[in-house]
Amino acid sequence: MDRFVVTGPTPLEGEIAVGGAKNAVLPLMAAALLARGETVIENVPDLVDVRFFMTILEELGARCVMVKNQLKIDTTNQDGCNASYDLVRKMRASIYVLGPLLAFHGKARVSLPGGCAWGPRPVNLHLDAMQALGAKLDLDEGYIVGSTSGGLKGTRFRFEPVSVGATANVLMAAVLASGVTELENCAVEPEVTGLAEALVRSGAKIEGIGTANMRIDGVDEIAPLRHRVMADRIEAGTFMAGVAMATGRVTMTGVNAEHLRSVTSVLQDIGCEVVVDQDLITVEMTGRPRAVEVVTRPYPGFPTDMQAQIMAVCALADGTSFMTDTIYHDRFTHVSELNRLGADIRLDGSKATVFGAEKLQGAPVMATDLRASAALVLAGVAAQGVTQVNRVYHIDRGYEKIEIRLAALGANIRREKY
Ligand code: EPZ
């Protein structure tokens, strides 16, 4: 296994290009199954999760080729309808193939995803919505076995709670359903909006894109997708949090600042200076972070995917911070690891109280999930001494070459086998 060895404290200085968004590219890859032919996706980050999803699509008869950051998915011979447990259990987002398979083939056999590092992650909304579209779903040995007689049919469905994945999955299914589908309380994350825009460019008929209510007029077929993946707002936010912790000045290029408003606002409350110039964001920090109160919300609220990273910043703040995750009440596996570094964080249900410490002290810590891993790496950059972050395969799922890019900004970090 790999681990990172980080020696701090070092400020972060320089310029960094932000990669394509993991959470935008995964649904786009699933959407390739809605057509026969070659889907071409640009600005694809070379991540473990992307490579993994390519394997799932190949199990379904597609052929995937990634050259640099361009991904081509040829679904001419797509014939499969089976996404096996061994593949799906490793990545929850694999359930994104359910909607496209039911829509295109009229049948699907997709393993129920397991939980994840921080707890159960239900898929009831995905299943309820597919049934509302007329799919017959059975559970057989841990697999969702779906079929449709005469194809999916337009329906009306309301998501409760707001769900990014279920919105994307059902949107893709509705595109080829017969008749009109009205979706209410949809997720409006930029990644969902990007998917809808890509589907429309391929011939889908979708109204209300970017709003909580979308209307989809089903069509008989769509063309293969051509799309450039948007910048990863969470990767950008992660680097911004790094500057807030370690101090310094970093300019990020290729970012859509509009997607980061809630994150930028919190970082400014923390004491960062943030300057936006078109697709450049420059973050500067001197001195100690200020304490803040943060509550995660669906977009455009503060993203749960930035909760761990900002908590790491608050661990060094001058004062007491409060963080509540309303999306995932138990997404706090990073707390005990941050406390190993000298943070003083106490949990009460879905609320964390972070008593700011003057300094953090390097120590061996364990990565548990993608964003917790990122928070621990940032903490290592800011901590006094050496921090070993073990099990970094978690971080490789969502950040491309993060150690190389942080080192280019002045961090003392290396990857080693152990
Ligand atoms: C997406 O996960 C992201 N993953 C997550 O990012 C992100 O944390 C999450 O959205 C919230 O923004 C991808 O896009 C691949 P949800 P998803 O359905 O779709 C409940 C990362 O670090 N829910 O929006 O699985 C659920 O329990 C990952 O990049 C149901 O109750 O999240 C949660 O409380 C981690 N039933 C809330 O909805 C369902 O059927 C939001 O979850 C589905 C979800």
Predicted local distance difference test score (pLDDT) of residue 116: 62
| Structural domain span for residue 64 | 22-228
Please tell me the distance from the alpha carbon of residue 119 to that of residue 372, in angstroms, as a whole number. Answer: 14
Quote the tokens at residue 283. Answer: 């973050």
Same domain (yes/no): 175, 309: no
Contact assessment for residue 3 and residue 418, using Cβ atoms and an 8 Å cutoff: yes
Find the residues whose C-beta lies inside 6 A of ligand 1: 22-23, 26, 92-93, 121-126, 161, 163-166, 187, 304-305, 327-328, 370-371, 398
Where a domain ends, among 180, 199, 228?
228
For residue 374, count CB atoms less than 10 angstroms from its CB and return exposed for 0-12, middle for 13-18, buried for 19 or more: buried
Same domain (yes/no): 40, 7: no
Alpha carbon nearest to ligand 1 atom 30, residue:
122
Predicted local distance difference test score (pLDDT) of residue 295: 98
* Active site residues per annotation: 116
CA of 13 to the centre of ligand 1 (A): 33
Same domain (yes/no): 81, 212: yes
Contacts of 326 (CB under 8 A, 6+ apart): 295, 296, 297, 350
Alpha carbon nearest to ligand 1 atom 34, residue:
327
Q: How far apart are the first and last CA of the chain?
A: 6
Of the candidates 108, 134, 140, 139, the one whose C-alpha atom is nearest the C-alpha of residue 124 is 139
349: left (phi over 0), alpha (psi -120 to 50) or beta: left
> What is the residue-wise DSSP string for 270-330?
HT-EEEEETTEEEEEE-SPPBP-EEEE-STTSB-GGGHHHHHHHHTTSBSEEEEEESS-TT
CB-based burial, 21-41: b 16+ in 10 Å, e otherwise: bbbbbbbbbbbbbbbbbbbbb
H or E stretch covering 103: helix 98-105
For CA atoms 384, 390, 391, 396, the dihedral sign is positive
Out of 26, 53, 163, 233, give the residue to mutate to test ligand 1, the one with the largest number of ligand atoms within 8 Å of its CB. 163
pLDDT in tens, 285-312: 999 999 999 999 999 999 999 999 999 9
Contact assessment for residue 293 and residue 321, using Cβ atoms and an 8 Å cutoff: yes
Where a domain ends, among 228, 250, 273?
228
Amino acid at 178: S
**Domain count along the chain:** 2
CA of 386 to the centre of ligand 1 (A): 34
| Cis preceding linkage at 190, omega within 30 | no
Same domain (yes/no): 142, 45: yes
The enclosing domain of 197 has a CATH number of 3.65.10.10
Same domain (yes/no): 296, 184: no
Amino acid at 283: V
Angle between helix 98-105 and 164-175 (nearest 10): 10
Predicted local distance difference test score (pLDDT) of residue 141: 85
CA dihedral of 367, 372, 376, 381, whole degrees rounded to 10: 130
Same domain (yes/no): 263, 376: yes
Same domain (yes/no): 44, 118: yes
Which atom of ligand 1 is closest in space to residue 370's alpha carbon?
A: 22
Same domain (yes/no): 28, 164: yes
Q: Which residues of the chain fall below pLDDT 50?
A: none
Same domain (yes/no): 70, 208: yes
Contact assessment for residue 350 and residue 329, using Cβ atoms and an 8 Å cutoff: yes
Please tell me the distance from the alpha carbon of residue 321 to that of residue 169, in angstroms, as a whole number. Answer: 36
Same domain (yes/no): 304, 365: yes
Same domain (yes/no): 88, 11: no
CA dihedral of 399, 171, 128, 185, whole degrees rounded to 10: 90
Where a domain ends, among 172, 196, 228?
228
Which atom of ligand 1 is closest in space to residue 121's alpha carbon?
A: 27
Which atom of ligand 1 is closest in space to residue 303's alpha carbon?
A: 12
CB atoms closer than 10 angstroms to residue 345: 21
**CA 240 → CA 12, 252, 276, 283, distances in Å?**
10, 9, 13, 6
pLDDT in tens, 254-283: 999 999 999 999 999 999 999 999 899 999
Same domain (yes/no): 152, 242: no
Out of 23, 49, 302, give the residue to mutate to test ligand 1, the one with the largest number of ligand atoms within 8 Å of its CB. 23
